[in-house]
């Protein structure tokens, strides 16, 4: 007899609720002028960022993720007890272990969920969506809570002017379920290249270079990035992934109602726009207010787009991301939420 576990037919998967949370504390470019040798004008011209949010001492990746999760669950009309699986995409977990998803579970009372973290840097939400899709489409679980959350300020070298101006803290969450009448995810193109790992990384604190007096003295517990190289790869990789996803489902940019690009740099978004085409109004931007929030970037933007009335049932949404690894990708879904 065939194993019943493998007899499920695949179900369409969709986002039934979104939520986001950013800390109250705003750090402007003018504030940064007082910390490092930079100017508001330089940051604005080179990145498009005006300000970012910085978590308080008692705000962690899990507490921000939990608040975003509560908002997403309320939006979906789902109780915490109905959640089967919590995935937290992050590069700034509360601790190396236990996983941050377990802290979120405890905070929101999702007593029936199993929980794990997923590390795919700034592409964490798209990678997480792919994982969630497999769980839900197969019928293995009904409800996934997917969170992208970061306290990037905790791994930021506040004396490195090329890095500290770029990032911010925040969290976003999505409830992923199946709906009979949903079209769901139309295409996804996820890629990685471990050969380029050294261009963007946090060298110390893991098993390769455990914490020591030397690693702390050398500031190896902070992010390191070759900005120019990352910039070039980000543009090429995100453009290629988006084109691949479009061709997979036979769509053109004309068919896309909204593009949610990773919010790293306005010049990157413009360069992708030049290569992909499509009306500039279609490219959602909130990096001026938040900077790069890594794994939270795409889902915070998606939530803001949904809440501001930019998304309607039937709209095709193209999400694109790129991050350290390198890991990148593009996902196209049909929005089904009214
Ligand atoms: O999530 C994915 C990861 N991250 C990214 O996608 C970021 C990708 N990279 C970038 O966004 C850009 O490369 C940066 C915004 C980081 C830098 O912009 P850039 O146009 O590539 O500048 P650059 O690194 O080529 O630096 C140009 C100059 C340098 O001075 P010199 O060598 O020409 O004298 C830098 O030292 O600008 C200087 N500089 C600054 N000046 C004022 C670097 N940072 C600053 C600063 N303020 N904050």
For residue 184, the model assigns a pLDDT of 94
pLDDT band with cut points at 50, 70 and 90 for residue 26: very high
Neighbours of 57 (CB within 10 A): 5
Please check the confidence at residue 5 and state whether its pLDDT lies above 90.
no
For residue 241, the model assigns a pLDDT of 98
For the chain, give the longest Cα–Cα distance: 71
- What percent of the chain clears pLDDT 90, i.e. is strictly above it? 96
CA of 296 to the centre of ligand 1 (A): 22
Which atom of ligand 1 is least distant from the CA of 39? 47
- Protein residue closest via CA to atom 3 of ligand 1: 323
Cis amide leading into 20 (omega within 30): no
Residues with CB under 6 A from ligand 1: 38, 42-43, 46-47, 122, 161-162, 165, 200, 227-228, 230-231, 234, 264-265, 268, 292, 322-323
CA of 236 to the centre of ligand 1 (A): 18
Please check the confidence at residue 1 and state whether its pLDDT lies above 80.
no
Please check the confidence at residue 28 and state whether its pLDDT lies above 80.
yes
- Protein residue closest via CA to atom 42 of ligand 1: 38
- What percent of the chain clears pLDDT 70, i.e. is strictly above it? 100
Neighbours of 243 (CB within 10 A): 15
Taking phi first (over 0 means left), then psi (-120 to 50 degrees means alpha), and beta for anything else, what does residue 169 get? beta
Q: Which two structure tokens, joined as six digits, stand for 246?
A: 């479009």
Provide the mean pLDDT of the chain: 97
pLDDT mean over 276-294: 96
Phi/psi at 317 (5° precision) = -115, 130
Which atom of ligand 1 is least distant from the CA of 162? 44
How are strands ordered across the β-sheet holding 13-21? Answer: 13-21, 170-178, 144-150, 85-89, 114-118
Terminal-residue alpha carbon distance, the chain: 43
Taking phi first (over 0 means left), then psi (-120 to 50 degrees means alpha), and beta for anything else, what does residue 53 get? beta
CA of 127 to the centre of ligand 1 (A): 27
For residue 99, the model assigns a pLDDT of 98
pLDDT mean over 87-114: 98
Which atom of ligand 1 is least distant from the CA of 292? 1
Please check the confidence at residue 8 and state whether its pLDDT lies above 90.
no
Mutate to test the pocket of ligand 1, among 162, 165, 235 (most ligand atoms within 8 A of CB): 162
For residue 320, the model assigns a pLDDT of 98
CA of 164 to the centre of ligand 1 (A): 11
- For the stretch 150-205, pLDDT in tens is 999 999 999 999 999 999 999 999 999 999 999 999 999 999 999 999 999 999 99
- Protein residue closest via CA to atom 47 of ligand 1: 38
User: Which among 265, 263, 261 is positioned nearest to 282, based on CA atoms?
Assistant: 261
For residue 326, the model assigns a pLDDT of 98
- For the stretch 34-83, pLDDT in tens is 999 999 999 999 999 999 999 999 999 999 999 999 999 999 999 999 99
Using CA atoms, how far residue 190 sits from 86, 292, 335, in Å, is 21, 20, 20
- Protein residue closest via CA to atom 17 of ligand 1: 227
CA of 228 to the centre of ligand 1 (A): 7
Enzyme catalytic residues = 122, 262, 292
- For the stretch 199-258, pLDDT in tens is 999 999 999 999 999 999 999 999 999 999 999 999 999 999 999 999 999 999 999 999
Which atom of ligand 1 is least distant from the CA of 265? 11
For residue 152, the model assigns a pLDDT of 98
CA distance 126 to 276: 19
For residue 6, the model assigns a pLDDT of 83
CA of 304 to the centre of ligand 1 (A): 28
- Protein residue closest via CA to atom 25 of ligand 1: 228
* Helical residues (DSSP H) of the chain, grouped into ranges: 29-33, 40-47, 61-76, 100-108, 124-137, 161-164, 213-217, 227-248, 266-276, 287-290, 297-307
- Protein residue closest via CA to atom 30 of ligand 1: 162
For residue 7, the model assigns a pLDDT of 79
Please check the confidence at residue 9 and state whether its pLDDT lies above 90.
no
Which atom of ligand 1 is least distant from the CA of 267? 11
CA of 227 to the centre of ligand 1 (A): 6
- Protein residue closest via CA to atom 22 of ligand 1: 228
């Amino acid at each position: 007899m065939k194993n019943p576990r493998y007899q499920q037919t695949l179900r369409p998967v969709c986002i039934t609720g979104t939520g986001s949370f950013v800390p109250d504390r705003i750090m402007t470019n003018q504030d940064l002028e007082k910390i490092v040798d930079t100017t508001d004008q330089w940051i604005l011209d080179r990145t498009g960022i005006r300000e970012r949010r910085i978590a308080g001492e008692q705000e962690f990746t899990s507490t921000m993720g939990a608040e975003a999760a509560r908002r997403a669950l309320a939006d979906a009309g789902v109780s915490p007890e109905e959640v089967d699986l919590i995935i937290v995409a992050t590069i700034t977990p509360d601790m190396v272990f236990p996983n941050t998803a377990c802290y979120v579970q405890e905070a929101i009372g999702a007593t029936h969920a199993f929980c794990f973290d997923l590390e795919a840097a700034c592409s964490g939400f798209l990678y997480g969506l792919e994982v969630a899709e497999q769980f839900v489409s197969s019928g293995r679980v009904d409800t996934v809570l997917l969170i992208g959350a970061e306290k990037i300020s905790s791994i930021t070298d506040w004396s490195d002017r090329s890095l500290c101006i770029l990032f911010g803290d925040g969290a976003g969450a999505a409830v992923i379920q199946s709906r009979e009448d949903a079209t769901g995810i139309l295409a996804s193109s996820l890629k990685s290249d471990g050969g380029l790992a050294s261009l963007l990384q946090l060298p110390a604190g893991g098993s390769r270079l455990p914490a020591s007096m030397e690693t702390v003295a050398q500031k190896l517990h902070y992010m390191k990035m070759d900005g120019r190289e990352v910039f070039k790869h980000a543009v090429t990789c995100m453009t290629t992934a988006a084109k691949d996803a479009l061709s997979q489902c036979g769509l053109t940019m004309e068919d896309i109602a909204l593009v949610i690009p990773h919010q790293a740099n306005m010049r990157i978004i413009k360069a992708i726009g030049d290569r992909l085409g499509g009306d500039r109004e279609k490219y959602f931007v909130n990096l001026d207010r938040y900077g790069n929030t890594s794994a939270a970037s795409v889902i915070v933007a998606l939530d803001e787009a949904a809440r501001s009335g930019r998304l309607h049932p039937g709209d095709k949404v193209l999400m694109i991301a790129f991050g350290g690894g390198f890991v990148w990708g593009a996902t196209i879904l049909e929005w089904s939420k009214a």
